[in-house]
Structure 1
Amino acid sequence: MKLKTILMAGVMSVAGSIVAADCAFENTVEVRSLSAGFEAWKAVTDAMAECGNVEANLDQDFREKQPEAFAANPSLYHIGGVANSTMIPLLTSGSIRPLDDLVAKYGQNLTPNQKITVDGKIMAIAMMVNNQHLMYREDILNDLGIAVPGTYDEVLAAAEKIKAAGVVEYPLGGTFKTGWNLGEEFVNMYLGEGGSFIDGNNMPTINNEKGIKSLETLKALTAYMDPEYLVSDSTYVQQQFQQGKIAMANLWASRGGAMDDEAESQVVGKVKMASAPMGSAAPASSIWWDGIVIASNITDEEAEAAFRVAMEGMDEEVVKANNDSAVWLIKGYEPGPLAAGAAATAQNGAKPYPASGPMGIMHTSLGNGISDYLTGAKDAATALADIEAAYKTAAKESGLID
């Protein structure tokens, strides 16, 4: 699946309320799912629930809970909501099953881009694409005569002007929560600098000038954020925007529609979308897909019911009823007015997230180690050296290196 091509063909529009559609069959088998909780997943799982006997668990900590839950026998869940990297631990452990037979039987409406294959087998069904890009308060930038930033130097200059004007509590927001979110911030910044994370021998390659520059940029941004940035995840930043507390953030496209949700946002119509700021080589972002997998450690009857329910949640009727909740890969999607940021980020050359087993270990090591630099406990080179050391220890335990 060529994610950049997909994103350009069906770019981002996220807004409005979730609408469920009627299920085409009555499900009599208990089906449980575990996924993220943003608007697109609410739409899909609401539609799945119309079939009956479906328990959907929407949890932003799904990525930490899925590996153990799916490794249980029987699995605690039948359906997993996954993305590029979060599928890897499940794939590596063998806790998800090939879907070829189920696709042949029930997947006649799937597009080729939805079928995620690994070693020639369909292992996941994608429903949407996503990336992090710049969201900004158009009214504030216009009032202060600030052009839309295109680089992080420009973001920092704009943040200084916004701070001086005192028009919001904090000029910037950021998904800097210690752990996966903070690791992803480095991944984006480092990809923007043209960096590579792991060499052909599975050895780490981040302790270099590009890595140091990435860390320095992240730290510079924190000067304009809520001091509690190390607990700030996507929901935190979304709410900061909605409550008028921040003026800019590099946030997931799937969160954009919440800015115009009149039921919870004070800034309807004021938050606009632009490309992720450019690094030295590419936009400081990465392109992702989200979709479903089916557990291995369940009966074939349960797997069939789970797949049928998932297809009901990901059909054309659901997309048409919830068009503005995602950049859908499903038939019936029509791009809407919030497309600019996701499209520009892809068009400017954002790279796909480099998902792999070793990268999963690297991401964890980054998420656990970067905060020591941001808080001043370590300098940049020491922090990166310690992150590489943590990666090597975990990679050895996993048999990836000697």
Structure 2
Amino acid sequence: MKLKTLALAGAMSLMSSVAFAECAFENTVPLKSLSAGFEAWKAVTDAMAECGNFEASLDQEFREKQPEAFAANPSLYHIGGVANSTIIPLLNAGSIRPLDDLVEKYGANLTPNQLIKIDGKIMAIAMMVNTQHLMYREDILNDLGIAVPTTYAEVLDAAAKIKEAGVVEYPIGGTFKTGWNLGEEFINNFLGEGGEFFTDGNMPNINNEKGVASLEVMKALTEYMDPEYLVSDSTYVQQQFQQGKIAMSNLWASRAAAMDDEAESQVVGKVVMAAAPMGSAAPATSLWWDGLVFATNMTDEEADAAFRVAMEGIDEEMVKANNDAAVWLVPGYAPGRLAVGAAATAAAGARPYPGSGPMGIMHTVLGNGISDYLTGAKDAATTLADIEAAYVTAAKEAGLVK
């Protein structure tokens, strides 16, 4: 089962031409990497190359090539560039190694948000993010004397005032399209409530107070949306913003640049970025990341060298030379106007999307089942119970639940 992969394409600008600082050590071990080919990866691998004996393959077909390449013994590549979803086949195959020992030796400059843990072990190092965060019409909030919302309760209060003023068609836009988008909205809110999706044995754990609270927030938001919200994806919401039809949304950072696209936007300079609304435990969103993994089938000497080279690739000097190439998680990043919301969301402690085989199934059944609650066909408890049952059936078929 495939999870939808999200790109940061809309949020990136061209790489700076500023030269990199020299590598802190001379690498003598031949190393290779395979990653996507967009500008952020070019910046990172160029910095790695400063250490010597390093060859980067920048390939937009990387997700199809990595599983077989990393399963080879020895692996055809030492370092891989992955995202939340593309890491899953490598995890399932056991072709990437835990990094706890290498982080302890060489990862002193890494932040907690960069350490991607699976089953308690560090399996990847995140370097950049995409995330859903609050975007709002600054002119409307200012005109109505509304403070920038920081929680969904405040978003709903603001929406009521905007609706009463009648200044836009709908106060809120939401990526509530049935399927992947709707599932992601629940996941965001459940993470914000501090929820854990599974118990021992990959059994589901959403039919509880945190799950009900997540559904209730979603239902409350729909009262201020276009009635056709179940067909509303990111492009739909982006266009609502651009056409001046909505005032607020928790939308992907990669859509921010479109707000100021003079060729298609009527609200250039009017949409401002802020952190995602807080849940009771964390921002009600998830961090989607791109980052680094390291092959199982290489020698310990190669692993040691590969990790050191990778740390040079994502150091502060690289970020300062390529600040606008991505929404970096690396120290030294200075977010521009359109990246402020994503950076603030990450800094507030947003949790990474918990990609895994079981989560792929959970995401699917959530996306298929939540609309019954939103439309009133089922109550919250029944909706969550039915989703858990659908998950167990699918997980058993996949061999993930006994």
Normalising by structure 1, report the TM-score.
0.69
Q: 1:257–1:325: 8 Å Cα contact kept in structure 2?
A: no
Per-residue CA deviation, residues 167-198 of structure 1 (Å, 9 max, x unaligned), is: 22322122223333222211121222233221
Whether the 8 Å CA contact 2:14–2:324 is kept in 1: the answer is no
Q: What is the count of residue pairs matched by the alignment?
A: 371
1:149 paired to 2:149? yes
Query: Do the aligned residues in 2 keep the contact of 1:16 with 1:260 (CA within 8 Å)?
Result: no
Q: Output the CA distance in 2 between the equivalents of 1:386 and 1:120.
A: 29
Cα gap change, 1:272/1:227 in structure 2, threshold over 3 Å: closer, same or farther? same
Matched, 1:18 2:45: no
1:72-109 deviation per Cα after TM superposition (whole angstroms, max 9, x unaligned):
7899xx976412x5522442135768999xxxxxxx99
In 1, Cα distance between equivalents of 2:260 and 2:206: 39
- What RMSD over aligned residues (CA atoms) do the two structures have, in Å? 4.9
Q: Report the Cα distance in structure 1 between the residues aligned to 2:198 and 2:121, rounded to whole angstroms.
A: 26
Secondary structure, in 3 states, of the residue corresponding to 2:127?
strand
In structure 1, the residue matched to 2:183 is 183
Instruction: Tell me the distance in 1 between the aligned counterparts of 2:110 and 2:253.
Output: 23
Unmatched 5+ stretches in structure 2: 1-9, 21-32, 50-54, 72-76, 101-105, 298-306
For residues 211 and 247 of structure 2, what CA distance do their matches in structure 1 show?
Answer: 27
Q: Which runs of 5+ in 1 are unaligned?
A: 1-13, 24-30, 36-40, 101-107, 298-306
1:215 alignment counterpart: 215
What residue is the counterpart of 1:136 in the other structure?
136
Residue 335 of structure 2 aligns with an amino acid whose one-letter code is P
- Distance of 1:388 and 1:93 partners within structure 2: 26
Per-residue CA deviations over 1:337-371 (Å, capped at 9, x if unaligned) read: 45653454455554343444433332222122212
1:109-139 Cα offsets, whole Å, 9 max, x none, are: 9965668687999865533134322111110
Q: Does the 8 Å contact 2:43/2:318 carry over to 1? A: no
Identity of aligned residues (%): 71
The alignment partner of 1:327 has SS state of: coil
Cα gap change, 1:70/1:228 in structure 2, threshold over 3 Å: closer, same or farther?
Answer: farther
For normalisation by structure 2, the TM-score amounts to 0.69
Match of 1:353 in 2: 353
The match for 1:242 is 242
What is the CA–CA distance in structure 1 between the aligned matches of 2:331 and 2:280, rounded to whole Å? Answer: 36
User: What amino acid does structure 2 have at the position aligned with 1:198?
Assistant: F
How has the CA–CA distance of structure 1 residues 154 and 33 changed in structure 2, closer, same or farther, with 3 Å as cutoff? same
Counterpart of 2:132, as a letter, is Q
Task: Measure how far apart 1:166 and its partner are.
Answer: 3.0
Contact 2:34 / 2:59 at 8 angstroms: preserved in 1? yes
1:368 pairs with 2:368: yes
**2:252 aligned residue:** 252
Whether 1:267 and 2:267 are equivalent positions in the alignment is: yes
Q: Secondary structure at the match of 1:129?
A: strand
Aligned to 1:6: none
Please report how far the alpha carbon of residue 387 of structure 1 lies from its aligned counterpart in structure 2 after TM superposition. 0.8
- Summarize the Cα distance change of 1:54–1:117 in structure 2 as closer, same or farther, 3 Å threshold: same
- In the TM superposition, what is the alpha-carbon distance from 1:146 to its structure 2 partner? 1.9
CA–CA separation in structure 1 for the residues paired with 2:69 and 2:360: 24
Q: C-alpha separation between the residues in 1 aligned to 2:282 and 2:70?
A: 44
